[in-house]
Structure 1
Amino acid sequence: MTVQLIATQPFNDQKPGTSGLRKRVSVFQSPHYLENFVQSIFDAITAPNGATLVLGGDGRFHNQEAIQIILKMAAANGFGKVLVGQRGILSTPAASCVIRKYQTYGGIILSASHNPGGPQGDFGIKYNMANGGPAPEKVTEDIFARSKEITQYRIVDAPDIALDVLGETDLHGMKVEVIDSVADYAELMGSLFDFAAIRQLLADGFRIKFDAMHAVTGPYARAILVDALGAPADAIMNAEPLPDFGGGHPDPNLTYAHDLVEIMYGEDAPDFGAASDGDGDRNMILGKHFFVTPSDSLALIAADARLAPGYAQGIAGVARSMPTSAAVDRVAQELDIPCFETPTGWKFFGNLMDAGKVTLCGEESFGTGSNHVREKDGLWAVLFWLNILAIKRQSVETIVKRHWARFGRNVYSRHDYEELPSDVANGLIDHVRASFASLTGKTFGAYTVKTCDDFSYTDPVDGSVSQKQGIRILFEDGSRIVFRLSGTGTEGATLRIYLEAFEPDRSKHDLDAQDALAEMITIADDIAGLKQRTGREQPTVIT
């Protein structure tokens, strides 16, 4: 085996987004593209010689090929050991778990999360730090800077490594250890939740349905929900991970998880339904004929955290992304704990968790998690809900409505306009931003604009500043509209519009969110000129 120095030229489009670099599969398959970015990671992080790296992905198309390349590059760049998930599989939260448990230097995760897979789909790669969390902006900026000046990369000329058999293999003096993809994560879940109570709940006839969406969580759900907790095998649907996610869109929302939604709203619906996404870090929670918004889910978990053994001593604080509803703020106020509002992106929660300031975190984009790892965690959220249900022995709907009765309801919805031409999306945002002065004090029906801003965040731990994180239109009564361009797509731009109104009146808590927010939806169109500028009559996705 020899180390080869391969001459290359920079690509100008390797700037990591909200969670790593995401492009079409065909882009990553082009000569030197993946190799350039991986070498840029290795150059930027300056790992000590002999360091240990974690490697795995969500099993999407090109996952296996990319892992072989990265292993050979890791060996050529002086790593001493790589822990790689069996068959190249590691969910994102499981990768974070492994990084933290074995105290590695960090890890490379191959995933485009909830984006579609297959030969015509998307691929992604990101670096997670030694704390298990996504690289902060300072590191991703260093990676991008290096990608713009790279002239060569290092790779070992060697045969591929067998990834289907557990055990160690030598690769140019570097150990490659193929590990059980599920075991460490399942052990961690068992330490956090009351498995005995959940097992009894299921034994008593409580019916669940989990949709793995042909993505990475299938093996994890089978090992935990079926093997450990006793759910019947058919409690899991779409359980086999497939490179193209079975042709579906592995995004756990009411639009793309329609098979599960139809079951949960059917005549013989199970008591509890849930879904996770491509890499296992997102979740959707459903009751019988009832949808739980991610914002409400975070708030309810915070309110009932002590019911789970791992959180029985209470929580230090909570954090939410700016677009997420203020439902959890009200819980934090009652619990007398701090609540932090951050930009979108799990990396912003990492500093807060490492500093011991928060225990629970969440984003409205179906991401919930805690300080057990440094990523959002879909199956963790499902188990937390099952733990709560096992103790309270009430329906999902009853639990949520009793929570609203106690704290009030933050009526909330997100409207996504996917794959807009970038110039159209940017033009719309620029138009709203330029309207701040004329909007302030203006009345739209029952709503009067109090102020407008472009959200910025100063990290309370390291003092770093993140600007232009989303446009907020804040009304006198506390309602708000937020406009933000998503950083997770690969084609065109995704415009996300967040609408929120607080409703303390229990008699109005049964209203459908779209009906309750109808006037605000019209206001958003008036302010941004949505239909005129996008040419769209309706959003692509409503949640």
Structure 2
Amino acid sequence: MIRTIESTPYTDQKPGTSGLRKKVRVFQQPNYAENFIQSVFDAIADKDGATLVIGGDGRFLNREVIQVAIRIAAANGFGRVLVGRGGLLSTPAASHLIRKRSALGGLVLSASHNPGGPDEDFGIKYNVANGGPAPEKVTDAIHARTLTIDRWLTVEGGDIDLDTLGEVTVGDMTVEIVDPVADYAALMETLFDFAAIRAAGLTMAFDAMSAITGPYATEILENRLGFAPGTVRNGTPLPDFGGHHPDPNLVHAHALYETMMGPDAPDFGAASDGDGDRNLIIGRGRFVTPSDSLAMLAANAHLAPGYRDGLKGIARSMPTSAAADRVAAKLGIPAFETPTGWKFFGNLLDAGMATICGEESAGTGSDHVREKDGLWAVLLWLNILAATGKSVDAIARDHWATYGRNYYARHDYEGVESERADALMADLRGRLAMLPGTAIGDLTIETADDFAYHDPTDGSVSRNQGVRILFAGGSRVVFRLSGTGTSGATLRVYLERYEAARIDEDTGAMLADIVAAADEVAGIVRHTGRTEPDVVT
């Protein structure tokens, strides 16, 4: 029987670039998760008899919210819900399952790379039928509904067994518990030469960070590709990610970095994040930035079976370095610069205008799904290593010798008071017209703007996507506020310097003058009180 539960709106349920993310304690408020899920269902059409995918990264509150979501889905007329066993589905695997099973969409329960646990973060994101994050017109409709909602619907019944494969009935709806790994692993076997990787004799270390990628990496790397048992570290998903921050960068995956810089390092090192859509790539003695990884993967993708026919185009987010643009130019294919957020890539992928996409925040992927995909990037790197017989360091050096090197770093100032961060950006935007021609040390500002994106597929315009300061000679700095945090604001400052011939210098030294210029032009210390970033990647 369908029950109607009266409710009142919460005013803080506007989805960000990756859904609604808040502290667990916020989601535990009466009707909070229920209101948002019902608002999603109220905002979408064609639910009657449709299929819905539900799964998450296993963080604290994952199972409880899945049980609630199943009953709300049944009350709203869905005909079938697919749930990953244990409530688990990586974000790329959820995208693939939505596409493979022709689902109307899916609820992905994750706060991505944010910490998990009773005092940490939780999130709910709605993905549409193409498998990608809901576009702005959908998230705007969801937000509008959260402000007027006065009830949510559910069906009578207790919790179902999420750990046993098979089908059960909830109300008039079928709930199918599926293997979260099998379909995704089968897809990877169609894209990459598993036999060649097995035969290459490579050694590797993979840190799953006690997050969702553990079961996927164990099945694919150890069981199907034959890497030694123990290759996958921290392979069991834990509700609190083992008390660690599941962000695959040099700060939070430092143990892996130490392994790869040590005397007995394996050939290849990699890590993934909370929900499995980001990646960290480290060779023996060589860290590869996400921006460089995108460019190198694009330049060598033809070595993998799934990409032998070439690429249709390469897309990168605006803050990502221009290294991939140089690859696109050599290949004679389009290069697209989009705002941050994978949904912008989805339109290009659906239109057949791009094949490989990437973001500096360690997200890389292709047209096989409509999300970034951490393990996909790892497997393409392994395929390239197997096909070339070269090390990661050799591939990087060869690439820079061909294309030049974009020295690049991102400085994150986390937990800045929102008012201070907003004031910094407002002040900077107010001075953009006056900045061209300004000299800062040896640098001269050539252009300064607030990035606006005109989508070539649907004509939509996204404004205020980040402030760009471009210096004469090709260097630049970008300022933007992140939409992935749950408290305060994160100011992200992106620093880039292009060198055609000086390809083996220290990144910090090469960017020192741009770091100084960034503070002078934006007044970071003056506005935030911070004298140095919290995280450098």
Give TM class, smaller chain.
Answer: over 0.9
Equivalent pair of 2:165/2:177 in contact (CA under 8 Å): yes
The TM-score, its normalising length taken from structure 1, stands at 0.98
Aligned equivalent of 1:512: 506
- Within the alignment, does 1:405 sit opposite 2:401 as a pair? yes
- Whether 1:532 aligns to 2:531 is no
Counterpart amino acid of 1:26?
R
Residue 195 (structure 1) aligns with: 194
| Amino acid of the structure 1 residue aligned with 2:312 | A
Matches within 5 A, 1:182-331: 182-201=181-200, 204=201, 206-331=202-327
Structure 2 residue 425 is the aligned partner of structure 1 residue 426: no
Q: Spell out, residue by residue over 1:417-438, the C-alpha distance to the aligned partner (whole angstroms, 9 max, x if none).
A: 0111101111111121122133
Output the amino acid matched with 1:11.
Y
Displacement of 1:49: 0.8
State whether residues 156 and 171 of structure 2, in contact with CA within 8 Å, keep that contact through their aligned partners in structure 1: no
Query: Distance in 1 between the 2:95 and 2:184 partners?
Result: 9
- Counterpart-to-counterpart distance in 2, 1:63 and 1:269: 36
Tell me the TM-score normalized by structure 2: 0.99
Are residues 1:361 and 2:357 paired? Answer: yes
2:230 alignment partner, SS class: helix
Distance 2:393 2:530 in 1: 34
| Displacement of 1:531 | 1.9
Looking at structure 1, the residues matched to 471 and 294 of structure 2 have their Cα atoms a distance apart, in angstroms, of 24
Deviation by residue 1:440-477 (Cα, 9 ceiling, x = unmatched): 11111221111111101111111111110000001121
Q: Deviations over 1:359-387 (max 9, x none)?
A: 00000000000000000000000000000
What residue identity is the alignment partner of 2:508?
Q
Alpha-carbon shift at residue 355 of structure 1 (Å): 0.5
| 2:482 alignment counterpart | 486
Q: Which amino acid aligns with 2:315?
A: A
1:522 maps to 2:521: no
Which position in structure 1 is the counterpart of 2:410?
414
SS in 2 for 1:330: helix
User: 2:414–2:491: 8 Å Cα contact kept in structure 1?
Assistant: yes
2:139 is matched with 140
Deviation at 1:533, TM superposition (A): 2.0
Match of 2:107 in 1: 108
Shift of 1:268: 1.2
Q: Identity over the aligned pairs, expressed in percent? A: 62
- The CA RMSD measured in Å over matched residues stands at 0.7
Determine the C-alpha separation between the residues in 1 that align with 2:527 and 2:349: 41
Residue 366 of structure 2 is aligned to residue 350 of structure 1: no
User: What amino acid sits opposite 2:530 in the alignment?
Assistant: R
Kindly state the Cα deviation for residue 310 of structure 1 after the two structures are TM-superposed: 0.3
The residue matched to 2:144 in structure 1 has which SS? Answer: helix
Q: Which runs of 4+ in 1 moved over 3 A?
A: none
Is 1:462 aligned to residue 471 of structure 2? no
Alpha-carbon offset, residue 339 of structure 1: 0.7
Q: What is the Cα deviation at residue 85 of structure 1?
A: 0.1
Contact 2:47/2:76 (<8 A) preserved: no
Q: How far apart, in 2, do the equivalents of 1:531 and 1:452 lie?
A: 21
Quick check: 1:503 aligned with 2:499?
yes
The CA distance in 1 between the partners of 2:228 and 2:474, in whole Å, is 45
SS at match of 1:153: strand
C-alpha separation in 1, matches of 2:374 and 2:96:
13
1:23 Cα deviation after fit:
0.2
1:376 match: 372
**Equivalent residue for 2:42?**
43
The CA deviation at 1:118 is 0.3
Q: Which residue in the other structure is 2:119 paired with? A: 120
Whole-angstrom CA distance in 1 between matches of 2:36 and 2:47: 19
Letter in 1 for 2:177: V
Offset of residue 289 of structure 1: 1.7
- Does the 8 Å contact 2:59/2:122 carry over to 1? yes
Structure 1 residue aligned with 2:89: 90
Q: Give CA-to-partner distance per residue, 1:501-528, whole Å, 9 cap, x none.
A: 11001xx211121110000000001111
**In structure 2, how many angstroms separate the alpha carbons of the residues matched to 1:214 and 1:150?**
37
For the residues of structure 2 that align with 1:146 and 1:463, how far apart are their CA atoms? 26
